Amino acid sequence: MLTILFDGIAYGMLLFVLACGLAVTLGLMNFVNLAHGAFAMAGGYVTAVLMNRYGVPFLLTLPLAFLVPALAGLVLERTLYKQLYTRSHLDQVLFSIGLVFMAVAAVDYAMGSQQQMIRIPTWLQGRVEILGIQVGLYRSFIIAVCGVLVVALQFILTKTRFGSRLRAAVDDPRVARGLGINVSVIFAATFAVGSGLAGLGGALGAEILGLDPTFPLKFMIYFLIVVTVGGTTSITGPFLASLLLGIADVAGKYYVPSLGAFVIYTLMIVVLVLRPQGLFARAR
Amino acid sequence: MLRRTFLGAAAMLALTGAASAQEPLKIGLILPMTGPFASTGRQIEAAAKLYMQQNGDTVAGKKIQLIVKDDTGTADVTKRLAQELIVNDKIAVMAGFGLTPLALAPAPLATQAKVPAVVMAAATATITEASPYIVRTSFTLPQATVPMAEWAAQNGIKKVATLVSDYGPGIDAEKAFTSAFTAKGGQVENLRVPLANPDFSPFLQKVADAKPDALFVFVPSGIGAQFMKQFVERGLDKSGIKLIGPGDVTDDDLLNNMGDVALGAITTQHYSAAHDSPENKAFVEAFKKANNGMRPNFMAVGGYDGMHLIYEGLKKTNGQGGQALIDAMKGMSWTSPRGPVSIDPQTRDIVQNIYVRKVERRDGELYNVEFATIPNVKDPVKAAKSN
Amino acid sequence: MQSDTADNVRAALGRRGRWGWGEVAFWLVAAATLVFLPERHLILNEIAIIGLFALSLDLILGYAGIVSLGHAAFFGLGAYAAGILAKNGIGDPLLGLGVAALAAAILGFVTSFLVLRGSDLTKLMVTLGVALVLGELANQMSWLTGGADGLQGITMGPILGLFEFDIFGTVAYAYSLVVTFVLFVIARRIVVSPYGLSLRSIRDNPLRARAVGIPVNRRLVAVYTLAAAYAGVAGALLAQTTQFVSLDVLAFHRSADVMLVLVIGGVGYLYGGLIGAVFFKVLQDVLSAWTPQYWQFWIGLILVLLVLAGRERLTDRVRALRPRSRRGLATDKARPLPTTTAREV
């Protein structure tokens, strides 16, 4: 029972790391970036390539799995994305889907279509028993990393100057500019961090979710579910939503396996019908 | 009335396709080249091209032209592509078909146009019954599964949990294993996993709770690696649960990268890259050389043998397609990289050895090492029907 | 005074309802392909079906402003309805279309209440959820749908008892084209009616529409149901002309593809879906014949370039070819969904 809870939390946390970058771009910057998964995939491949070809230890690859997609995000933001902030959502969808197609085919060309494997270090393998619960070490590691991330993100957004500037830039770019806030730099930085977080999520998730060129398409739905269920106005919303969805999914599949596939979708529909703005959003 | 003229036209089409001598003989290879099952397509395409490279592109005095089409893993696209290839390109034979629905969708076309279809991958038992023009060079899931059940029963395994992906082939495997294993007096508990399922933890926890002697698993090959990792992560290997199943989980294409988690898994299948024969050594070496070190898997061998079957069939019919070609293919036998194989003249399905293998490390790489052979296995589903 | 306004509106709508020469040419070219492109009938059939499917999405997205990422739910339901009917011996194609339309319309009506609320994102995800649940249902109910193996053994009777489906796809294409054309004419009639006008006003400003007395919810339910029926017919056409139904009729990529097709062709005018279907399918066919492995890259590149070059501008140029459609373009600025402003047919 508690093991199920633990697995659910770990799964939810993983969903959160993958989706929180999207929560930032979609929720805060109001940009529908379906190419989010491509950045996550980039992070995963950075880790896989570094580990398998160059023998870099797993933990050392993680910062790079953050930096490389963040850099890619920064470049793309400066060159392409920034032209689309003022465009319609449909344009953004079309554009980012185009990027996904390109990323899928390009990775396929460069790396082949097969699954990439990473080997996590032995001290993260296996499981231990804590207070009578079987706890997987790698899943605990994910929970720890995500916990730190949530706290840090929440702190940055609510307590730092950058956070308040970002919120100001999002709420009313024109006024923010008038107040001397460099909106485009803030957006670029935010976008880069969002992409980097996706990359980190991809690297952490490769062990559990697998990694192949179709990754951005396969998991796009999950990211979107987390963000919409959580509501797009905060970081805590998607966080709690990820936990809820993770636990519900794992528990649903454990207790009623025959209906397991329905749980996450049905939950989403019910939540959205009852609370169209998302579970944890304050109405604006 | 109209129907008859239409069938007549279709037959004419098949005839004219084969009759013109200058025209090259066209083979339509329809595969999922993009999407989640792209690696299946890649393996088969690579193998087919390798075969043509090794054996030349002229058969019975005619040039062979291979037309590769991507069906993106969508059945109606497969059907449309097959139809276009038949009508426009006037192919002599179509081949490929990565998944069960992709093989079933164009089956009526094969019958109508009398164009043989060589199934190189899809593994649901019933496929060859969908049209008298379908012949298969891959395997059927029950063919690989029933020997597993027998081996398990003979080796002191009493209680088995099965875990399969909830779709056609998975259910096929589950049924075949369950009935064969319970017939030998074993106990089985069934679990099904949704096909799109990133996290196996709830299902594995259920397995852990059930404490079986062995876990029988079938998931499509790409997902197999994740499954293995989570199996070990949960410590199920240490609690004495053996991992058994048809060879999809320990796909040669991925096996070496899975790492130590795969060690010790026991599977039954028709092909291992480590199969010890001169034919296979040559095949593996050539395949790796032509494809940047990629190891051939059971899909590749299906594609390679499929091409062989087409070549040999065309040689026998002197370049004629249609009914003559399918008749020529029936009963054909040869030595494949996987061992001796033949085409059952009644069912048009492949008859082959099934090997029991264990994942071991050899020369620094992981392989499915064969340690027992069950010779000349026919598809048990159709064999049961004919008795 | 008031009757003047009514007359003006009536006259304006009547003007819009008239067929331009561009439209006539479009359909003449489509009809001509029946004779002049015999080798391409199979893909043309697919184009006609996707065109109809995109048209149905346009009814809700372009005219009523409801975004959907789950339109395949209706497409798939229609396909399964027609397929199951034919499998059980009722092989009359037109009857199949009717049943498929009805089944999809019922589902559309029921689910329409779910999509009335919430933001665009909420609507996207709810529609997506409906389609995913339906897809999972179809997988589980394999006794009815054939599950992942697909629905086999569909045999279609001749259309109207006269025309048997042939292997060249000619009858299939003619059939799909005629059905698409008939439904197009009906849709065209609807969008230039006062009802269509009220939909557009809801799309542009729901609050104001409610204020002038338009029953917003009822109108939206009606159009959503209608669009569902259209999608159901498109699905049924696919099932009948390919005589096979598999789970991917309900898959996410089908909803996403139709969205792409429509957006490429242009949202908010009925030809958008049809033109988009021609463009997208031909492109995909050419590219994937050229590089079966990596065609997606080039599609992606084209999408990106299309957006950067200004998709609106391109489709507006096409639209500007037809005389009475230039009005309202000036206001075509960025704003949340829907992007289109007061646009005509």
Over residues B281-297, the mean pLDDT reads: 90
A115 and B CB contact within 8 Å: yes
Assess whether pLDDT exceeds 80 at residue C315: no
Domains and CATH numbers, chain B: 2-139+277-348 (3.40.50.2300), 142-269+354-386 (3.40.50.2300)
Over residues C265-282, the mean pLDDT reads: 89
Residue A71's pLDDT band (boundaries 50, 70, 90)? very high
Q: Between these two residues, B8 and B150, which has the higher pLDDT value?
A: B150
C343 and A CB contact within 8 Å: no
B26 and C CB contact within 8 Å: no
Residue B354's pLDDT band (boundaries 50, 70, 90)? very high
Residue B13's pLDDT band (boundaries 50, 70, 90)? very low
Q: Give yes or no for a contact between C235 and C244, defined as CB atoms under 8 angstroms apart.
A: no
The tokens describing A129, both together, are 């028993």
Pairing outcome for strands B187-193 and B159-165: parallel
Spell out which residues of chain B touch residue A114, defining contact as CB-CB under 8 Å: 39, 222, 253-254, 294
Residue B296's pLDDT band (boundaries 50, 70, 90)? very high
d(CA B125, CA B179): 15
Percent of chain B with pLDDT over 70: 93
> Which amino acid, A120?
I
Contacts of B131 (CB under 8 A, 6+ apart): B107, B108, B110, B111, B117
Percent of chain A with pLDDT over 90: 8
Q: Give yes or no for a contact between A138 and B261, defined as CB atoms under 8 angstroms apart.
A: no
Q: Considering CB atoms only, which of C136, C259, C304 is closest to A261? A: C136
Q: Give yes or no for a contact between B243 and B214, defined as CB atoms under 8 angstroms apart.
A: yes
CA–CA distance from C17 to each of B169, C13, C20, C194 (Å)? 53, 6, 9, 11
Which region, left, alpha or beta, applies to residue B268 given φ > 0 means left and ψ of -120 to 50 means alpha? beta
Spell out which residues of chain B touch residue C242, defining contact as CB-CB under 8 Å: 76, 79-80, 105
d(CA B335, CA B44): 19
Q: Which of A145, A123, A129 is nearest to A2 (CA)?
A: A129
Report the range of poorest mean pLDDT among A6-15, B7-16, B162-171, C325-334.
C325-334
C30 CA: distance to closest CA in chain A (Å): 27
Which region, left, alpha or beta, applies to residue B35 given φ > 0 means left and ψ of -120 to 50 means alpha? left
Tens of pLDDT, residue by residue over C225-261, are 999 999 999 999 999 998 889 888 998 889 988 988 9
If you ran DSSP here, which 8-state letter would residue A84 be given?
Answer: G
Which region, left, alpha or beta, applies to residue C165 given φ > 0 means left and ψ of -120 to 50 means alpha? beta
Q: What is the pLDDT of residue A58?
A: 85
Give the chain A residue nearest C126 (alpha carbons): A269
d(CA A75, CA C120): 29
Q: Between these two residues, C84 and C124, which has the higher pLDDT value?
A: C84
Residue B387's pLDDT band (boundaries 50, 70, 90)? low
Spell out which residues of chain A touch residue C114, defining contact as CB-CB under 8 Å: 269, 273
d(CA B271, CA B268): 9
Give the chain B residue nearest C250 (alpha carbons): B74
In sequence order, the β-bridge partners of residue B367 are B360
Q: Give yes or no for a contact between C80 and C245, defined as CB atoms under 8 angstroms apart.
A: yes
Domains and CATH numbers, chain A: 2-274 (1.10.3470)
Tens of pLDDT, residue by residue over A193-219, are 889 989 998 898 888 888 888 888 888
Residue C316's pLDDT band (boundaries 50, 70, 90)? low
Alpha helices in chain A (DSSP H): 2-22, 36-54, 58-79, 89-111, 137-159, 161-171, 173-178, 183-209, 215-230, 236-255, 260-274
A261 and B CB contact within 8 Å: yes
Count of CB contacts below 8 A, A vs B? 107
Q: Which of B292, B259, B286 is nearest to B273 (CA)?
A: B286
Tens of pLDDT, residue by residue over B130-140, are 899 999 999 99
Q: Between these two residues, A267 and C181, which has the higher pLDDT value?
A: C181
Spell out which residues of chain A touch residue C133, defining contact as CB-CB under 8 Å: 262, 265-266, 269
Assess whether pLDDT exceeds 80 at residue C320: no
Assess whether pLDDT exceeds 60 at residue C185: yes
SS3 at position A35: coil
Over residues C26-52, the mean pLDDT reads: 88
Assess whether pLDDT exceeds 60 at residue C43: yes
> Which amino acid, B170?
G
If you ran DSSP here, which 8-state letter would residue A133 be given?
Answer: E
Over residues B152-178, the mean pLDDT reads: 88
Tens of pLDDT, residue by residue over B76-121, are 889 989 998 998 889 999 999 988 889 999 998 899 899 999 999 9
Q: Considering CB atoms only, which of B76, B126, B167 is closest to C139? A: B167
Give the chain A residue nearest B235 (alpha carbons): A126
Give the chain C residue nearest B80 (alpha carbons): C42
In sequence order, the β-bridge partners of residue A58 are none
Alpha helices in C62-169 (DSSP H): 72-87, 93-112, 120-140, 142-145
Q: Which of C27, A1, A84, B236 is nearest to A35 (CA)?
A: A84
Count of CB contacts below 8 A, A vs C? 135
d(CA B102, CA B82): 10
> Which amino acid, B239?
S
CA–CA distance from C88 to each of B105, C74, C75, C152 (Å)? 18, 21, 20, 11
Count of CB contacts below 8 A, B vs C? 105
Spell out which residues of chain C touch residue B140, defining contact as CB-CB under 8 Å: none
In sequence order, the β-bridge partners of residue B188 are B160
Q: Considering CB atoms only, which of C158, C167, C295 is closest to B83? A: C167
Give the chain C residue nearest A278 (alpha carbons): C122
> Which amino acid, C296?
Q
Assess whether pLDDT exceeds 50 at residue B160: yes
Over residues C207-234, the mean pLDDT reads: 91
Assess whether pLDDT exceeds 60 at residue C71: yes
Q: Which of B99, B80, B48 is nearest to B248 (CA)?
A: B99
SS3 at position B267: strand
**Whole-number average pLDDT of chain B:** 86
d(CA B346, CA A253): 43
Assess whether pLDDT exceeds 50 at residue C345: no
First and final C-alpha spacing in chain A: 39
Tens of pLDDT, residue by residue over B221-246, are 777 878 888 888 787 887 888 899 88
Return the H-helix or E-strand segment holding B68: strand B62-70
Pairing outcome for strands B339-343 and B350-362: antiparallel
Which region, left, alpha or beta, applies to residue B322 given φ > 0 means left and ψ of -120 to 50 means alpha? left
Q: What is the pLDDT of residue B29?
A: 94
Q: What is the pLDDT of residue B18?
A: 45
**Whole-number average pLDDT of chain A:** 83
Of the residues B167, B201, B207, the best mutation for testing chain A's interface (the one with the most A CB atoms within 10 Å of its CB) is B201
Report the range of poorest mean pLDDT among B16-20, C177-181, C258-262.
B16-20
Return the H-helix or E-strand segment holding B353: strand B350-362
Interchain CB distance below 8 Å, C149 and B87: no
Cis, peptide link before residue A121, omega less than 30° from 0: no
Q: What is the pLDDT of residue B304?
A: 95
Spell out which residues of chain C touch residue A269, defining contact as CB-CB under 8 Å: 114, 126, 129-130, 133
User: Residue for token digits 């099934």?
Assistant: B354
Q: What is the pLDDT of residue B14?
A: 45
In sequence order, the β-bridge partners of residue B357 are B267, B370
Q: φ, ψ for residue B272 (rounded to 5)?
A: -135, 140
A113 and B CB contact within 8 Å: yes
| Range picked from A123-127, A203-207, C81-85, C163-167 for highest mean pLDDT | C81-85
Residue C134's pLDDT band (boundaries 50, 70, 90)? very high
B100 and C CB contact within 8 Å: yes
d(CA B360, CA B267): 12
Using alpha carbons only, what angle is made at residue C239 by residues C234 and C244, rounded to the nearest 5 degrees?
155
B329 and C CB contact within 8 Å: no
Q: Give yes or no for a contact between B127 and B154, defined as CB atoms under 8 angstroms apart.
A: no
pTM, full prediction: 0.85
Interchain CB distance below 8 Å, A4 and B205: yes
Interchain CB distance below 8 Å, C124 and A269: no
Q: Which of C211, C80, B116 is nearest to B97 (CA)?
A: B116
In sequence order, the β-bridge partners of residue B334 are B341
Q: Considering CB atoms only, which of A11, A52, A115 is closest to B222? A: A115
Q: Give yes or no for a contact between C100 and C82, defined as CB atoms under 8 angstroms apart.
A: yes
Q: Considering CB atoms only, which of A113, A253, A261 is closest to B39? A: A113
Assess whether pLDDT exceeds 60 at residue A120: yes
Tens of pLDDT, residue by residue over A6-48, are 888 888 888 888 888 888 778 777 788 888 889 999 999 999 8
DSSP string, B226-238: HHHHHHHHTTTTT
Domains and CATH numbers, chain C: 20-325 (1.10.3470)
Q: What is the pLDDT of residue C122?
A: 83
Of the residues A32, A83, A89, A253, the best mutation for testing chain C's interface (the one with the most C CB atoms within 10 Å of its CB) is A89
Contacts of B359 (CB under 8 A, 6+ apart): B250, B255, B262, B263, B264, B265, B267, B366, B367, B368, B369
Report the range of poorest mean pLDDT among A138-147, A254-263, B30-39, C266-275.
A254-263
Assess whether pLDDT exceeds 70 at residue B203: yes
Percent of chain B with pLDDT over 90: 43
Assess whether pLDDT exceeds 70 at residue C314: no
Interchain CB distance below 8 Å, C292 and B69: yes
Q: Which of A30, A65, A44, A14 is nearest to A226 (CA)?
A: A14
Q: What is the dihedral of CA C37, C38, C42, C45, to 10 degrees?
A: 60
CA–CA distance from A201 to each of A17, B31, C117, C193 (Å)? 5, 32, 32, 51
Pairing outcome for strands B350-362 and B365-377: antiparallel
Tens of pLDDT, residue by residue over B246-266, are 888 888 888 887 878 888 889
Interchain CB distance below 8 Å, C337 and A269: no
Q: Give yes or no for a contact between B29 and B66, defined as CB atoms under 8 angstroms apart.
A: yes
A139 CA: distance to closest CA in chain B (Å): 9
Interchain CB distance below 8 Å, B232 and A125: yes
**Sheet containing B93-96: which strands, arranged edge to edge?**
B58-59, B62-70, B25-31, B93-96, B117-119, B134-136
Interchain CB distance below 8 Å, C288 and B73: no
